[in-house]
């Protein structure tokens, strides 16, 4: 078993996968010095693709010292089909996918399915006893999260990402994070299979086709982490297994979680306080990594969305089919397609405007409060600034997507 784990975590395995897909490191080139006194500049080696990586080979050495040495890693792409396919697949595990796909599902498909996607993507229902050891009816804190588990695990296990060389790393931003587990693989597996299972409870559709699509989605995102050189095979397998186990364990409680979230009057307070506490007390790392910021974004968005779910029944913003009735998927007509795209475009413009507004406003307030120079990007990494501004921004995005955008849809007659 130890030998198997060792082989699955080998960087050479990732490098071989990259080579099979046509991604190679460029051979080292030494620029030729011009003759003395010629006045001609030294020729620059030509390269089609470059990527800045840590010059010392160690993780996090680029933070917080801005003067850390770096070199430019050059690589050669011999198969552009795989290059663009896996770059696109990697984006399916990024913010741009979450901030578009989840609202689209809520506005155009079924809020029931969206709630369960949020339960798995963000929620792990957690019962906490009070100081006397008794269980109170509503002494339940939500927001211990699957993505929180994945992100925190990286800074606890401290397993390095694949080494470069031999691996070509295509993503500079994440290069300083630890590797195990792959949160891209976790998110892709949880979202695709939760969507599959939740849709089974609502609609009649070819299950085999849905299963194939779920496997294809999670597989492509997982393979993209190997192609981009961000994870070992063991990291990816670990992420998939964590999500699979989490879905299997929590599936019987999905309806209970959904009911308790709508029943508790203290729910909105808990849903904001608990995830903010988790983010603010994120495990301290020796050097800065973006995991805390990403975790805050995910928990805050989940908190905002879930508050929106809690508010929706009061304003009758969504209408859901009866849970006991399994419906046939309606045929896709031109009218339905135009209406869906219009609702999405109107909603996503509002969401991005709110995101930008709340980010600028929260940063201005925090910079003023802590007497930080405006537009100081390094200051954004400070705990007392990064967590509050991320949390305010993305919780506002979640509330906007589930409350204000449906209100706007009603006002504009987009129903």
Catalytic sites, residue numbers: 184, 231
Q: Which residues pair with 54 in a beta bridge?
A: 70
Q: What is the CA radius of gyration of the chain?
A: 24
Q: Which helix (H) or strand (E) holds 209?
A: helix 207-227
Buried b (16+ CB within 10 A) or exposed e, 85-113: bbeebbebbeeebbbeebbbbbbebbbbb
As a whole number of angstroms, the distance between CA 9 and CA 289 comes to 21
As a whole number of angstroms, the distance between CA 28 and CA 74 comes to 9
* Cis? peptide before 64, omega within 30° of 0: yes
As a whole number of angstroms, the distance between CA 148 and CA 390 comes to 15
CA 76 to chain centre: 28
| C-alpha distance from residue 81 to each of 32, 78, 88, 102, 227 (Å) | 35, 9, 11, 28, 12
| C-alpha distance from residue 11 to each of 17, 26, 219, 291 (Å) | 10, 18, 20, 22
Q: What is the DSSP letter of 52?
A: E
């Amino acid at each position: 078993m130890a030998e198997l784990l060792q082989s699955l975590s080998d960087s050479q395995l990732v490098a071989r996968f990259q080579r099979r897909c046509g991604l190679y490191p460029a051979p080292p080139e030494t620029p030729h010095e011009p003759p003395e006194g010629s006045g001609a500049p030294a020729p620059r080696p030509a390269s089609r693709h470059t990527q800045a990586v840590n010059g010392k080979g160690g993780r996090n050495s680029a933070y917080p010292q801005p003067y850390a040495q770096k070199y430019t890693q050059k690589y050669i792409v011999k198969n552009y089909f795989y290059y663009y396919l896996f770059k696109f697949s990697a984006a399916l595990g990024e913010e741009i996918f979450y901030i578009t796909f989840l609202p689209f599902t809520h506005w155009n498909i079924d809020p029931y399915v969206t709630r369960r996607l949020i339960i798995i993507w963000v929620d792990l229902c957690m019962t906490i006893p009070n100081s006397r050891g008794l269980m109170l009816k509503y002494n339940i804190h939500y927001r211990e999260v699957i993505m929180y588990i994945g992100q925190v695990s990286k800074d606890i296990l401290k397993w390095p990402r694949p080494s470069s060389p031999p691996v070509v790393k295509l993503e500079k931003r994440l290069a300083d994070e630890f590797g195990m587990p792959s949160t891209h693989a976790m998110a892709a597996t949880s979202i695709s299979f939760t969507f599959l299972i939740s849709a089974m409870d609502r609609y009649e559709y070819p299950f085999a086709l849905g299963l194939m699509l779920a496997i294809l989605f999670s597989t492509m995102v997982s393979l993209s982490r190997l192609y981009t050189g961000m994870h070992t095979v063991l990291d990816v397998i670990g992420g998939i297994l964590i999500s699979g186990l989490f879905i299997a364990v929590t599936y019987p409680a999905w309806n209970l979680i959904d009911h308790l979230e709508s029943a508790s009057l203290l729910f909105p307070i808990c849903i904001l306080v608990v995830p903010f506490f988790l983010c603010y007390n994120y495990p301290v790392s020796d050097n800065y990594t973006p995991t805390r910021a990403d975790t805050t974004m995910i928990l805050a968005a989940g908190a905002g969305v879930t508050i929106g779910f809690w508010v929706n029944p009061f304003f009758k913003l969504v209408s859901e089919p009866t849970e006991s009735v399994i419906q046939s998927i309606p045929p896709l007509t031109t009218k339905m397609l135009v209406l869906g795209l219009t609702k999405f475009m109107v909603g996503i413009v509002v969401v991005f405007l709110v995101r930008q507004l709340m980010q600028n406003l929260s940063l201005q307030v925090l910079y003023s409060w802590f007497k930080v120079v405006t537009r100081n990007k390094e200051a954004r990494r400070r705990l007392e600034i990064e967590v509050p501004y991320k949390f305010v921004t993305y919780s506002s995005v979640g509330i906007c997507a589930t409350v204000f955008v449906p209100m706007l849809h009603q006002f504009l007659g987009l129903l």
